Structures are given as C-alpha cells and as structure tokens.
Amino acid sequence: MATDLTASSLGISQVTAIDTDTNSVAYVRSNKPGLVFDQLEVSPDSKTLYLLNKSNSKVVLWDAAAGDPLSSINVTAPSDAWLDRGTGWMAKPQTDNNNLYVMQLYDVDRASTVLGIAQLDISQRKQVRVVKASPYNDLSGDSFTLALSTDEKKIFYPATNSITGPQGGFLSLDLASGKLSKLASFTTPTNVTEMLALDNDSLVFGNGNAGNGPTKVDIKTGTINAIPMPPSYLTIKGYDHLAAANPKDIFASNISSIWQSTLQNDGSYSGKLLSVRGSYVAGTLNRPIAFARAH
C-alpha cells in the first residue's frame, strides 16, 4: 500500500492511503482543524506514520493501517539553550522502529544559532537527547534536508564552511560522539533539494541547480556523479523529492508525476511513470511509499 497526502497551501491537511496493487483508496483521514503537517515518514515496519508539525515543533504519530492518531512527541532545544528556534526536517528512518531523528535549531547565546539533531524515542513517546552539530550559518542556502545512514550511526546534511570548502558539500555527524567530518565537497554551485542514504556506500540527492536531477555520492570516497537517466526523463521538469524501497529502486517526483527508476546491470537506471495524479511534493524511504500532494 502506498500513501499519498492531500495538502493545503500551508501544509498537509489530509492523508489518503492508496492500495497500489488495486490502485484503490484504502482510507482518507483529515487532520484536526487548524493542524497541518509539513512532512510525513513511515516507520521501517510500516506500522506508524510520523507527521511533522513544524509550527508547534512536534511529531504526531498515526496508526498507518487505520489512519488513526496515536500520540505526539514534542521536539525541544536542550535545557541549557538560550532560545529555541524550532524544528527543521525529519531524517527518513532506516531500520529502527523506535528512534526518529529531527533537525532542531536553537541559540547557545544571544549571537549564536546552532543546528542540533533531536533523538525521539517512539515507545517512550519522548525526546531523549539533542546532539549538537554545527552553526546555523553553515547550512547551505535553504537546504534544511538531512539523511540518516543505513546503520543509523550518522546524519548527513549539506553545509558550507571551512570543512566542505567554498562551494559547500556534505557533512557527516557521528551520533554517538558528536564528531563532524567532511563527506564530500561540491565543485560547482549545488542546491540540495532532497537526500537519502541508499546503502552503506551510496547517498542520493536532488540538485536544484541541475534540474533536480538525482545525483549519487560515494560515501567512502566522496565522489559525486549524476545518475544516468533515460531520455524520456527529459520531458518532465525535474526531481524535487526522492524515495527508495531498496538500493535498486529510486522513486522520484516532480510537481506533477511520480517515476520509478530501476538499476540496470550497466549502472544506469530505466524508468517508468507511476502516477500523474495531483502535484506530488514529498516521499518516504520505506514501504509503504508515501507522497505529499500540494492540492
């Protein structure tokens, strides 16, 4: 079953679950009046929906099968923070059904805003810690996206600082030690629109400065290469958001369609159009695949 989201101009206001085997609607659920969501992810076991409400800095939990609300978890700055600046985005879960990581912005003093990663314990319904990452000014443009490694030990995110170089690149945050290191540096201006870790060796992201075309990073070497796409892909406007069921299948969406790209033996991807219903703007890493629809 795949899930798509019907959204208002301010965010997601309705969740629709679609059975992709029969292409029929399994359920439609509306949010509480005045409550909108900015991002949806699915737990690795496909039992729980994680719905991010940035305006209230919380993650709302829903039963994925029934579409019923379960609970919510507040995302907050550390107790010694000078000022809480609110949340960024959630990292797509990989294998752990009990931990969720959310970007958190806060001031350590009157002049310094930093990026932290809040860890939420799903079973206890609470935030357990915030790992300090880097200064807020290091973030590349408006790229507040992040990715969790497949072993769930590191967070990757785009930044521009002395570590990545003048064109920016990706930083790697060790969640146990808090150590920051360079994953890769960009050689040309790059706007990261979405990113996800496919396996231990590969990180894929959409590049807004290159038609949002999917681009691959070798996690071990930092080498960056565009993913080969069939000519038919050139007929659409680009890939704003990426999702994957496994390393061999990448799902990409632009403003009007969803494509599935399957890895071929020669290293290229062949694609097929899955849907042109609505304007899709987001997706999850795990099955059921979830997409947000703008209207």
Token readout for 179 is 């150590």
Name the residue ranges covered by the structural domains of the chain. 47-138
* Cα separation, 286 vs 295, whole angstroms: 23
Amino acid at the residue 88? G
Nearest to 67 by CA among 19, 26, 20: 26
Phi and psi torsions of 124, nearest 5°: -85, -10
Nearest to 151 by CA among 92, 195, 199, 204: 199
Residue matched to tokens 């799903």: 122
**pLDDT tens track of the chain, all 295 residues?**
544 443 333 355 677 666 555 555 677 777 776 677 887 787 888 788 888 888 899 999 998 888 888 999 999 999 889 999 988 889 888 889 999 999 999 999 888 888 899 999 999 999 999 999 888 888 765 567 889 999 999 999 988 888 888 888 899 999 999 999 999 998 888 888 778 887 788 888 877 776 656 688 888 888 888 766 554 443 333 444 555 555 556 665 554 555 666 666 666 666 666 555 444 333 332 333 333 332 2
* Cα separation, 256 vs 43, whole angstroms: 26
Q: Is the pTM of this model over 0.85?
A: no
- Strands 290-293, 180-185: parallel, antiparallel or unpaired by DSSP? unpaired
Amino acid at the residue 98? N
Neighbours of 112 (CB within 10 A): 12
How far are the Cα atoms of 6, 256, 267, 291 from residue 72, in angstroms, in the given order?
21, 31, 42, 21
